[in-house]
């Protein structure tokens, strides 16, 4: 991932560290239960991460080779690492089946310097509104987290100049991922930049067009 030009701003962001998984309450929607990771989720996560269509747009671009690789992925969101991210398992409320995973990472891991949202869903559940239902509910919970005033280096195109600015949350997708574009736009995100770069994933010898999206806390309040 190429380095994006940054500017220093004053803003508010969720207080770090994030709450422990054990302290997080499940988020319930009409059809979903969005909850923290547990060790019992390995089989469900392996089923998700061995679908080529799902993994095509991930950072690795390929399915997990074995359950150990899936376990290593899950470890990023479980104690003691749970305080570094705000990610969740997504299940059907009616059956408990794991159908996806989604949530946010904060600075400095994010591409644009702002917190960044991402999500994956099993292919059987695409096009049925589950991703939009998840994202809207997760964002409602995100905005309730305690905040702290911070100084941050953020993408210069995400703000109008330096100084004090509203809090943002971001996402980025491949230009060809029209499904994710629709989900982000339905949740209020707007495109703020595009750029081209070589695809650094193993086996992907091509250039790729990436699209950045941003959602401002000012838009939520308005």
Sorted by where each begins, the domain ranges of the chain are: 6-163
What pLDDT was estimated at residue 164? 93
Among 12-26, 65-79, 148-162, 166-180, name the one with the lowest average pLDDT.
148-162
Instruction: Render pLDDT for 92-103 as a digit per residue (tens, 0 to 9).
Output: 999 999 999 999
* Residue listed under structure tokens 């899936």: 70
Residue 182 pLDDT greater than 90, yes or no: yes
Q: What angle do CA 15, 19, 23 make, to 5 degrees?
A: 150
> Which residues lie closer than 8 Å to 86 by C-beta, 6 or more apart?
14, 18, 103, 104, 105, 106, 142, 145
Percent of the chain with pLDDT over 90: 87
Q: State the Cα angle at 73 between 71 and 77, rounded to 5°.
A: 100
| Architecture of the domain spanning 6-163 | 3-Layer(aba) Sandwich (3.40)
Which residue, among 110, 70, 88, has the nearest Cα to 19 in the 3D structure? 88
pLDDT for position 219 = 83
Q: pLDDT tens for residues 17-45?
A: 999 999 999 999 999 999 999 999 999 99
- Name the DSSP class of 1: -
The residues that bridge with 11 in the sheet, in sequence order, are 150
Cα distances (angstroms) measured from residue 83 to each of 167, 197, 218: 20, 32, 26
pLDDT band for position 199 (50/70/90)? Answer: very high
Distance (Å, whole) CA 107 – CA 114: 6
Residue 107 has pLDDT above 70, yes or no: no
| Mean pLDDT rounded to a whole number for the chain | 94
9, two tokens: 């701003």
The CA distance from 19 to 34, in Å, is: 15
Helix (H, G, I), strand (E, B) or coil at 83: helix
pTM of the model: 0.93
Q: What is the model's pLDDT at position 3?
A: 62
- Per-residue pLDDT, averaged over 169-195, amounts to 96
Q: Which pLDDT tens digit goes with each residue over 37-80?
A: 999 999 999 999 999 999 999 999 999 999 999 999 999 999 99
CA distance 130 to 134: 6
């Amino acid at each position: 991932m190429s380095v994006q030009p940054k500017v220093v701003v004053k803003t508010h962001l969720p207080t770090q560290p994030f709450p422990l998984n054990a302290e997080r309450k499940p988020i319930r929607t009409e059809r979903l239960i969005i909850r923290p990771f547990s060790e019992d989720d390995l089989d469900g996560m392996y089923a998700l991460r061995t679908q080529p269509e799902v993994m095509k747009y991930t950072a690795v671009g390929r399915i997990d080779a074995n359950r150990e690789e899936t376990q290593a992925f899950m470890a990023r969101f479980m104690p003691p690492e749970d305080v570094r991210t705000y990610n969740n398992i997504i299940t059907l409320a009616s059956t408990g089946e794991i159908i996806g995973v989604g949530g946010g990472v904060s600075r400095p891991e994010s591409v644009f310097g702002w917190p960044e949202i991402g999500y994956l869903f099993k292919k059987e559940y695409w096009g049925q509104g589950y991703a939009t239902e998840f994202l809207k509910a997760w964002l409602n919970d995100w905005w309730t987290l305690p905040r702290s005033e911070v100084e941050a280096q953020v993408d210069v195109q995400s703000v109008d100049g330096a100084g004090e600015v509203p809090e943002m949350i971001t996402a980025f997708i491949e230009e060809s991922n029209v499904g994710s574009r629709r989900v982000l736009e339905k949740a209020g995100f707007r495109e703020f930049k595009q750029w081209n770069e070589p695809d650094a994933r193993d086996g992907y010898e091509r250039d790729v067009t990436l699209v950045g999206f941003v959602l401002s806390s000012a838009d939520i309040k308005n």
